[in-house]
A = this chain, B = another copy of it.
């Protein structure tokens, strides 16, 4: 199946798993430098590319940051602008509707990005 991860990919993935949210490439770079000495941007970007192709991380486009994929199926990324939390919400029927809608236009999609900014339940319940 998926080829095994390389050492660098493993390290980046571990860092992302240990974080409680997305990290930018340069945050990852900083962590790796504090551990391992001379690490340069291509090391991080190559690892991210590999992990993305393996389907285990994804770029959160609107944050220019990277996060572990938490759901087996593509989801809606819900980003709270108040507390910064990022959740992936599964919505298979939504993606199916999207597929249908695009098919009706003759468009064959290969990759969907759905990101939503707003306020999460925790931040809505409490004060502003």
Contact = CB atoms under 8 A, between A and B. Distances in A.
Contacts of A37: none
Q: How many monomers of this chain does the complex have?
A: 2
A19 interface: no
Most chain B Cβ neighbours within 10 Å, of A81, A113, A125: A113
Interface residues of A, number: 35
Interface in A80-128: 80-81, 87, 89, 91, 93-94, 97-98, 101-102, 105-122, 124-125
A62 interface: yes
Given A89-B101, A89-B105, A101-B91, A113 B78 contact: no
Contact of A114 (B105, B114, B124, B125): B114
Interface of A: 61-62, 76, 78, 80-81, 87, 89, 91, 93-94, 97-98, 101-102, 105-122, 124-125
